[in-house]
Amino acid sequence: MISSKRVRRESWVPVGVRSLEKNALEVVRSEDNRSVIAGPGAGKTELLAQRAAFLLQTGMAPAPRRILAISFKRDAAENLAARVRRRCHRSHAERFDSMTFDAFAKGLVDRFGQSLPAMWRPAAGYDLQFPNERAYREFLAGLKGIPSNVGTNGDVQAILPSTFERSLVLGSSLPADGWQAPTAGQWAAARFWDSSLHAGKRSHLSFPMLGRLAELILRVNPMARQALQLTYSHLFMDEFQDTTQVQYDLVRQIFLGVQSVITAVGDNKQQIMRWAMAMDDPFGVFERDFHAKRTPLYNNYRSSPDLVRIQHVLAQALDEQAVEPVSMAEENVDGESCEIWNFTTPGKEAHHLAHFVVDEIRRRNLSPRDFVLLVRQRADDYAEILAPAFDRVGLSLRNEAGKVGHLSLQELLSEEASQWIVNLLRLAMTERSGRYWSAGQETLAWLRGISSEDEVAQERLARELDMFALQLQKAHPGPPESEEVAEALVIEIADFLGGDRLMAVVPSYRQGDWLAKVLLSISIHLLLSSAGKAAWVEALDAYEGQHAVPLMTIHKSKGLEYNTVIFVGLDDGAWWNFSKDQIEATAGFFVAFTRAKQRVIFTYCRQRGAQDKIASLYQLLHDAGVGSRDID
């Protein structure tokens, strides 16, 4: 049992792990700003969880002050929060706020947006938009009436849609009184903002636009800025290599020049979001602005020694100063740990991969989830050929990039509502449900704001949870067999959790009808997962894909790990835009490789394309001693 009592700093030891490497322990105990360069498998999430435990348990983050942790993906934010809850007493973990950058910025706009100057003030209700290059092209083409003292229509039409958002709409902080002597580009950006904010009854804003508005709020509303500074004694920033200028400017506006301590963690060799406006060198900028000390981590707890050796060759292509990590994992693989397999046709490739995976599962006592098939893009096209081959050997291949209702399958499974609903179904419908009961009570207590110290309320909550589980079990003895039943079941559980409470704790659920779309997607996937299943446990296992081999893109694999990674499509066709940004493409290649614990297999199919454009990737593998063989 983890105690709520304060621990003396000199007496504190890591919680739940045997030890930390020297530099990690130094960061955990640090009292200054740090930028932590942590490579694949270095234990970034564990580092931040241990630092949270140290700060909360020793009083370095004294009550009532809190710790703010900002991640890029919702599942990463939730994983960190869950790990802190395992490492800390509830009274401590309740002072740890883990959220995404988007949720943080949106929360500020929702709370303080009406304090913005009129020209920047969104409507009380606004919709999220996700404009693409085509939308910007159409907007610029429709602009007329540029003032003569600003420029000409030709100047506006010369603006590249591909850079309009990055350089003009979001390129710098918003001027509180507008651009006083605008260039043609600034005039066009001002028109875009005005159209997004004021053209209709509701504003239409992207998440990066919300970030810019949030930063402006804190400039024109010093009290809001001071409230955040007083609330948070410490800030954690995860996956810092992908930080955008918008996000960094928001952090700098809040925390620059104050006593709050910042820990930024990431890997400059895994920057694969440059296309999404990631800064070129966020670590260097942060270290200069906040006088942060750079601290590298050296251990790799994920990958075998041979894979770590190959990873280092790839890492040096991205950072000549990269230090070779020390593998802390055991080698447990027969044959080559990395190899390129050459095929003549996609059909032969699919047949061989399916038989390889099923043989490895049987021979080495692995599960389907120990494998992943990664592709660079167009996962649907690959799944069309691969899935039937896996079916023929008795395995299910699950395309986690595929759409279910309004979300991709992988996005759906990371939704808080999806996780909470499945947990309650497992609690009600399966035997040995103790861990689901504990998680269910913890979720309900959090949603309803019930303190872990309030024993009376906790007992009442436990009885309510038991009664609901029995009611659910009686009303739904088997998985749903129709759309109506599936939808009604999901709504019943959501109502028990409390729709208003869901919207209170998950910012995205307050936006438009997003919660309704998520719940509909859950019901669709639940019905699909229940097809042919007589027992609830089988349906819920299918829902979570526990017995299926996942297929996903490189970008969606980040943060995950597998025994064996099979990268399908090492050819020019899949990497058609390799020459546009070789650094980011090579970083993506590095990310794909580093998901593996024991083995990496690359496949090349002659029918899909040549190897000329990506010759540098093949050269890196050759330099690392990776061999290839032809397979018919």
Per residue, the 3-state secondary structure of 50-112, as one string, reads HHHHHHHHHCCCCCCCEEEEEECCHHHHHHHHHHHHHHCCHHHHCCEEEEEHHHHHHHHHHHH
Please compute the mean of the pLDDT values over residues 19-42 and round it to a whole number: 92
pLDDT for res 588: 82
Q: Is 539 helix (H, G, I), strand (E, B) or coil?
A: helix
| DSSP bridge partners of 300 | 327
| DSSP bridge partners of 408 | 403
pLDDT for res 338: 93
Q: Which residue did the predictor score with more confidence, 34 or 90?
A: 34
CB neighbourhood size of 456 (10 A): 8
Q: Are 564 and 273 in contact (CB under 8 A)?
A: no
Model confidence at 548, pLDDT cuts 50, 70, 90, reads: very high
In terms of Cα–Cα distance, which of 562, 560, 575 is closest to 375? 575
Asked whether residue 445 carries a pLDDT value surpassing 70, the answer given is yes
Residue bearing tokens 């000329």? 612
Strand order in the sheet with 293-297: 96-100, 66-71, 232-237, 261-266, 34-38, 293-297
Maximum separation of any 2 CA atoms in the chain, in Å: 75
Please report how the helices 346-364 and 379-392 are oriented relative to each other, as an axis angle in degrees rounded to 10: 60
486-503: b or e for each residue (b if 16 or more CB lie within 10 Å)?
bbebbbbbbebbeeeebe
pLDDT for res 271: 55
Alpha carbons 572 and 580: distance in angstroms, whole number: 13
The DSSP letter of residue 375 is E
The DSSP letter of residue 283 is H
Residue bearing tokens 């270095």? 42
Q: Are 490 and 527 in contact (CB under 8 A)?
A: no
Task: Tell me the two tokens of residue 10.
Answer: 């000199």
pLDDT for res 276: 54
Model confidence at 559, pLDDT cuts 50, 70, 90, reads: confident
pLDDT for res 46: 92
Least confident of 62-66, 75-79, 369-373: 75-79
Alpha carbons 491 and 489: distance in angstroms, whole number: 5
* 53 burial type by CB count under 10 A (0-12 exposed, 13-18 middle, 19+ buried): buried
Model confidence at 611, pLDDT cuts 50, 70, 90, reads: confident
Residue bearing tokens 């992943």? 372
Task: Tell me the two tokens of residue 609.
Answer: 């394309």
pLDDT for res 359: 95
- Torsional class of 374: left (φ above 0), alpha (ψ -120 to 50), beta (otherwise): beta
Asked whether residue 218 carries a pLDDT value surpassing 80, the answer given is yes
Please report how the helices 536-544 and 416-429 are oriented relative to each other, as an axis angle in degrees rounded to 10: 160
pLDDT for res 272: 53
The torsion angles phi and psi of 381, rounded to 5 degrees, stand at -65, -40
| DSSP bridge partners of 127 | 204
| DSSP bridge partners of 293 | 34
Share of the chain above pLDDT 70, in %: 97
Q: Are 61 and 29 in contact (CB under 8 A)?
A: no
Per the prediction, the chain carries an average pLDDT of 89
The torsion angles phi and psi of 558, rounded to 5 degrees, stand at -60, 130
* Neighbouring residues of 152: CB distance < 8 A, sequence distance ≥ 6: 146, 184
Model confidence at 35, pLDDT cuts 50, 70, 90, reads: very high
Residue bearing tokens 């959501």? 494
Please report, as a single letter, which amino acid is at residue 33. N
Please report, as a single letter, which amino acid is at residue 340. I
Q: Is 266 helix (H, G, I), strand (E, B) or coil?
A: strand
pLDDT for res 407: 84
Alpha carbons 396 and 387: distance in angstroms, whole number: 7
Model confidence at 39, pLDDT cuts 50, 70, 90, reads: confident
pLDDT for res 1: 52
Residue bearing tokens 């994983």? 79
* 200 burial type by CB count under 10 A (0-12 exposed, 13-18 middle, 19+ buried): exposed
pLDDT for res 444: 84
| DSSP bridge partners of 599 | 564
pLDDT for res 274: 53
- The rounded Cα 503 to chain-centroid distance in angstroms is 20
pLDDT for res 2: 66
Model confidence at 129, pLDDT cuts 50, 70, 90, reads: confident
CA angle at 608 for the pair 603 and 611, rounded to the nearest 5°: 65
Task: Tell me the two tokens of residue 244.
Answer: 């955008």
Please compute the mean of the pLDDT values over residues 561-575 and round it to a whole number: 90
Task: Tell me the two tokens of residue 323.
Answer: 């230090």
Type and span of the H or E element at 206: none
Model confidence at 40, pLDDT cuts 50, 70, 90, reads: confident
Share of the chain above pLDDT 90, in %: 53
Please compute the mean of the pLDDT values over residues 143-168 and round it to a whole number: 90
Type and span of the H or E element at 426: helix 416-429
Type and span of the H or E element at 420: helix 416-429
Please compute the mean of the pLDDT values over residues 541-560 and round it to a whole number: 88
Alpha carbons 102 and 73: distance in angstroms, whole number: 9
CB neighbourhood size of 64 (10 A): 7
Asked whether residue 582 carries a pLDDT value surpassing 90, the answer given is no
Asked whether residue 632 carries a pLDDT value surpassing 80, the answer given is no
Task: Tell me the two tokens of residue 62.
Answer: 């004294």
